[in-house]
Structure 1
Amino acid sequence: MLSVLDLVTRLDNGTLDLAGLYRQVAETIEAKEPEIEACAFIDWQRLKTPDNVHGPLRGLPYGVKDIFDTAEMPTTYGSPIYDGYRPKADASVVSMTARAGGVAVAKTRTTEFAFLQPTITRNPHNTAHTPGGSSSGSAAAVAAGMLPFAFGTQTAGSTIRPASFCGIAGFKPSYRILPTVGLKTFSWNLDTVGVFAASVADCAFVLSAISGREFHLGDADAAAPRVAVLRSGFSVEADAEMLGALDEAARIAEAAGATIVDFAFDPALIAADNAHPVIMNHEAALALAYEFDHHGDALSPRMREALAAGGAISVADYDAARSIAHRGRRRFDDIFEAFDVILCPSAPGAAPAGLEATGNPAFNRLFTLIGAPTVSVPGMHTSAGLPLGLQVVSRFGSDDMALRAAHWLELQMARK
């Protein structure tokens, strides 16, 4: 994989130049893209002639999920309805990244409108397995070493889960830390911009560069966090290997000085978790009303069924779900008096075999609903060698804490 921080250091000290980096990226894409199929569009001309770009990102090439508008590259939202579509403007995040010195060289594949219908992207660790979704191409491209970082989105689990399946770091910031302007909306109360990179520190650097916020991560000898370990309580249970990885990470953290306590959801948080699909599906039916009404035959059967079901949710039920979510957010903020972060699985297990489904977001959707910052920390694997990610969560607005604790845990696991 390509480390953002390593590349920046090498560009600064002169052991690497942009032309050499872009040649390396182009060669890796040429070698791996035919098998992985992570990219919906590649700007080969830009890869051949890198500009002399300044800013904290130093001209690093990156990928942007094909759910974001880009003026200089096609944007299809993962749907044949938008084949050849060229927006007139970039999404805000794309413009912010350009101002920080990042260069978009590829649109990465997404599931249809960032929902459930899988795309053709395969997992670089084992191409017989899904890379997860909906940010399938972004996670796979970073994991395959094709790009140093890429943007995705999360409405339920579409950043954290693919990061876990592909063995990389994924960060979903607090709700609205990054703007969703120019993003094809699926659920306006849930859609959140996320970032993928090789490590937690790489994700933090990218977010700092584009957001104007400074995230101070510390090192392996920094003060250990207070960690609440959450093993169950979601709508599905984690498998044995994921639970084993969680317990091992907790043991490593405790041995390094972390305070470890067990934690379980209370009824208010379980109710909020159950409210998530009501809000998401009702809003999706409205957000994609034009596509459903005028291009229904071009939608996948799975999407048509979901939008029809969302349209059948009453306004009263939707409003009740929003009230439950609001109570859940207030309750979630209260629980952090006794600890700094929650540690739990990023997914029920490793990436499932096959490309027919992208995995279950059960371990992610509550934290998306709450708007809390979440980080998928790489470093664990199954006995078969497939990656297992562990999720670090903090209270809303405490992105610095989530990243610092996740970085600390990543460093402790690397020592073992």
Structure 2
Amino acid sequence: MLSLTELRTRINEGRLAPRQAVAEVQAAIAERDPIIGAIVSSDPEPIVPEEGPLAGIAVGIKDIIDTAHLPTQMGSPIYRGWQPRADAAIVSRLRSLGAVPLVKTATTAFAGLDPAATVNPHDHGHTPGGSSSGTAAAVAAGMLPLALGTQTGGSVIRPAAFCGVAAIKASFRLLPTVGVKTFSWALDTLGLFGASIPDIARALALIADRPEIDLADDAPRASRIGLCLQGFAGEADPDAAEALSRAARAAEAAGAIVTDLTLPDAFARAWELHPIIQDFEARQALAWEYANHREALPILLGPQLDRAQALTAAQYDAARREAHHARRQLKDVFGEFDAILTYSAPGRAPRGLTSTGDARFNRLWTLMGVPCVNLPVPGDGLPLGVQIIARFGRDGQALAVARSIETALARG
């Protein structure tokens, strides 16, 4: 994979020009993407700034995020060739740092459940996950050092786990969603994908203008980690359970205190109600598409919106109250723990390209609005990942805990 920090080190030392760094990415895309199908449009002659902390870093932009120079087609024929007049706020921020928004990456239609055409780089017969399918696959295939995704249920953490890359779903609203196609305004959150935890920590610190996020010692020397199986979400596969156990042992080897954590019943109720909040808002966010292009909506999203028409405001309000109650209890949980360690996905990427996998181990944490990090766990076969979660606004702490586990896993 391409490392953002390594590229920037070579550029800072004068061993690589920013234009050369972008050219390397273009060559990798030309060689690998015809098989992977992660890229839906590309800038053939990008402007490459010579200055800036992200100069020379080519970025993939999920194709529900507006770009003034490339179409934003949202994985749907309804928007084929649609060209925004302006960049989304996050894209403007990347440009101001010297980064090059080089390509748009494949997304499921409107970031829903219907699979994109992208394949998993590790085995083309398996899904890369979704909805940030192209984003995760492009980073995993060594085509991009940094890419943007979004998460409403599990669309950052799950594909990162399936493709074996580092990723963070940032704290809710840490990164601006202005210019990003809405699915659920109470849940949609931007995320970053990279080759390693230091890569995404550096990128998030710069993009969010919060240098403290990139401090390697942001984790307490003896982090208190709650090992959470999320029993209300069902059982994970044995391989996922073993990966979580390995990560817990690595955390202890790094000096952490790992204790089993069973969440109070309020969290199971909130987990059950996530779809009500999501779908009640989706039917409004996609009201124009539903009213005018119902026949063009894909096989899963169309019926999902059909069912959403029956949801009531009373159901929605009750679900929001339960979510708020759980968020208040989560503050008490983080009074006892610095981070939570749990599954990123039920197991390895499923075989076949008719599903993007199951988000059941992700959706509670999206609803809570807290930072979530996917950390790949080394091993044979298709990738496996674990999820590190911290208190709202403590993105740097989640990354620091993940970094300490990543280092311990590398030592074996």
TM interval, short-chain normalised: over 0.9
Q: Which residue of 2 aligns with 1:108?
A: 105
Q: Which residue of 2 aligns with 1:313?
A: 311
Q: Deviations over 1:32-59 (max 9, x none)?
A: 111000011011222xxx5233211123
Give 2:340's match in structure 1, choosing from 339, 342, 353: 342
Kept in 1: contact 2:230–2:361 (CA 8 A): no
Distance 1:310 1:206 in 2: 37
Runs of 4+ with deviation above 6 angstroms: 219-222
Structure 1 length normalisation: TM-score? Answer: 0.96
Aligned pairs for 1:357-372 within 5 A: 357-372=355-370
After superposition, residues 196-345 of structure 1 pair within 5 angstroms as 196-214=193-211, 215-218=213-216, 223-345=221-343
> Against the structure 1 CA distance between its residues 171 and 221, is the aligned structure 2 distance closer, same or farther, given a 3 Å change threshold?
closer
What is the CA-CA distance between 1:310 and the residue it aligns to?
1.2
Which consecutive unaligned segments of at least 5 residues does structure 1 have?
A: none
Match of 1:396 in 2: 392
Q: Does 1:33 align with 2:30?
A: no
Q: Which sits farther off after the overlay, 153-162 or 212-221?
A: 212-221
Please report how far the alpha carbon of residue 258 of structure 1 lies from its aligned counterpart in structure 2 after TM superposition: 1.0
Does structure 2 conserve the Cα–Cα contact (< 8 Å) formed by 1:217 and 1:407? no
Match of 1:151 in 2: 148
- Whichever residue aligns with residue 90 of structure 1, its letter is D
Q: Aligned with 1:350: secondary structure? A: coil
1:14 corresponds in structure 2 to 14
Contact 1:234 1:363 survives alignment (8 Å): no
Aligned to 1:162: 159
Shift of 1:222: 7.5
1:394 corresponds to which letter in structure 2?
Answer: A
Matched, 1:174 2:174: no
Q: Contact between 1:75 and 1:85, CA under 8 Å: does it hold in 2?
A: yes
| Counterpart secondary structure, 2:356 | coil
Moved more, 17-26 or 329-338: 17-26
Q: Secondary structure at the match of 1:295?
A: helix
Deviation per CA, 1:282-304, whole angstroms, max 9, x where unpaired?
A: 11011101000001111113111
Q: 1 CA distance for matches of 2:44 and 2:137?
A: 19
Task: Identify which of 402, 407, 412 aligns with 2:408.
Answer: 412
- 1:216, CA displacement in angstroms? 3.7
Question: Structure 2: how far apart are the matches of 1:20 and 1:390?
Answer: 34
**C-alpha separation in 1, matches of 2:391 and 2:219:** 23
* Alignment partner, residue 84 of structure 1: 81
What displacement does 1:220 show? 12
Q: Is the 8 Å Cα contact of residues 48 and 55 (structure 2) preserved in structure 1?
A: no
Q: Which among 52, 57, 63 is matched to residue 55 of structure 1?
A: 52
The answer to whether structure 1 residue 2 and structure 2 residue 18 are counterparts is no
Aligned to 1:188: 185
Moved more, 390-399 or 216-225: 216-225
What CA distance in whole angstroms lies between the structure 2 residues aligned with 1:403 and 1:314? 39
Counterpart-to-counterpart distance in 2, 1:308 and 1:137? 27
Output one character per residue of 1:349-375: Cα deviation in whole Å (capped at 9) or x when no partner. Answer: 011111100010011100000000000
* Superposed CA RMSD: 1.4
* Residue type at the aligned position of 2:408: Q
1:93 has 2:93 as partner: no
User: 2:254 touches 2:404 (CA, 8 Å); kept in 1?
Assistant: no
Partners in 2 of 1:380 and 1:309 — Cα distance? 41
Partner of 2:125: 128
The answer to whether the 8 A contact 2:48-2:98 is kept is no
CA distance in 2 between partners of 1:222 and 1:44 (Å)? 46
**Structure 2: runs of 5 or more not aligned:** none
Shift of 1:209: 1.2
CA–CA distance in 1 between the matches of 2:244 and 2:301?
34
TM-score normalised to structure 2 length: 0.97
**Counterpart secondary structure, 1:229:** strand
1:23 paired to 2:23: yes
Which 10-residue stretch deviates more, 219-228 or 85-94? 219-228
> Aligned AA for 1:247?
S
- Identical pairs, percent: 49
Aligned-pair CA distance for 1:380: 3.0
